[in-house]
Each structure stands twice: as structure tokens, then as C-alpha cells.
């Protein structure tokens, strides 16, 4: 159906009954693609790496471990040793907590 994505994880669209490539610039047939930093036609060098360590061992309830910037991608969380903690996230708009694991 025209105007629908060609697949669940694709930016390509159905146009006149055929799947058409859509670049990150929004142009049909464009070869423009996002780089690893999420920049359209970027060279992959504008990424900002954010690192942090969390070693808080006491306390109950929610404790902020890190703030993940808006638009962050390729997020990696590593647990170095077993703990009794859980990882969750907070929606900054609704202030609701979501347990991840």
C-alpha cells in the first residue's frame, strides 16, 4: 500500500506499489544514510562517548546511576560482579519508573 514502510525496521516506502529507497534526507532514491552517530551523510566522527561507573552499595529505592542523553544509541551496560540491584529507567516527563532487568 502506498506510503507504508516496506518492512518493520526499514525506512524505505511503498510508492506506486513498489518498494523505494528513501534516504535519511527524506528524498526518494537518495543514497544518504545515517552514520553510526545518527548524522545523515555523516562520517562517524561526531559521536560523543558518555561513560560512567556506578558502585553505590547501600540504600533502598531508586538511585540515579547515570543520565542517558536524548538520542543516545548503542547503549552498553555491564555488570562487573553479581549484585542485588536492578536496572530501571525513569521517564523524565511522567516520572514513572520502568524496571528493565
**Length of the chain as a residue count:** 101
Query: Residue 94 to residues 68, 83, 84, 91, 101: CA-CA distances in angstroms?
Result: 16, 28, 27, 6, 20
Under DSSP, the state recorded for 69 is P
The whole-number pLDDT of residue 30 equals 93
The whole-number pLDDT of residue 101 equals 62
Q: Is residue 11 predicted with pLDDT exceeding 70?
A: yes
What pTM does this model have? 0.55
SS3 content of the chain, % helix, strand, coil (to 5): 0, 15, 85
Question: What band does 72 get if pLDDT is binned at 50, 70 and 90?
Answer: confident
Amino acid at each position: 500500500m502506498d506510503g507504508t514502510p516496506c518492512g518493520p525496521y526499514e525506512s524505505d516506502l511503498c510508492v506506486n506499489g513498489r518498494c523505494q529507497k528513501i534516504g535519511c534526507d527524506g528524498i526518494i532514491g537518495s543514497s544518504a544514510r545515517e552514520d553510526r552517530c545518527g548524522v545523515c551523510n555523516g562520517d562517524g566522527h561526531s559521536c560523543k562517548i558518555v561513560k560512567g561507573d556506578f558502585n553505590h552499595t547501600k540504600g533502598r529505592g531508586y538511585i540515579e546511576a547515570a543520565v542517558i542523553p536524548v538520542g543516545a544509541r548503542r547503549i552498553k551496560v555491564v555488570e562487573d560482579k553479581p549484585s542485588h540491584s536492578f536496572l530501571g529507567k525513569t521517564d523524565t516527563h511522567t516520572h514513572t519508573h520502568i524496571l528493565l532487568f
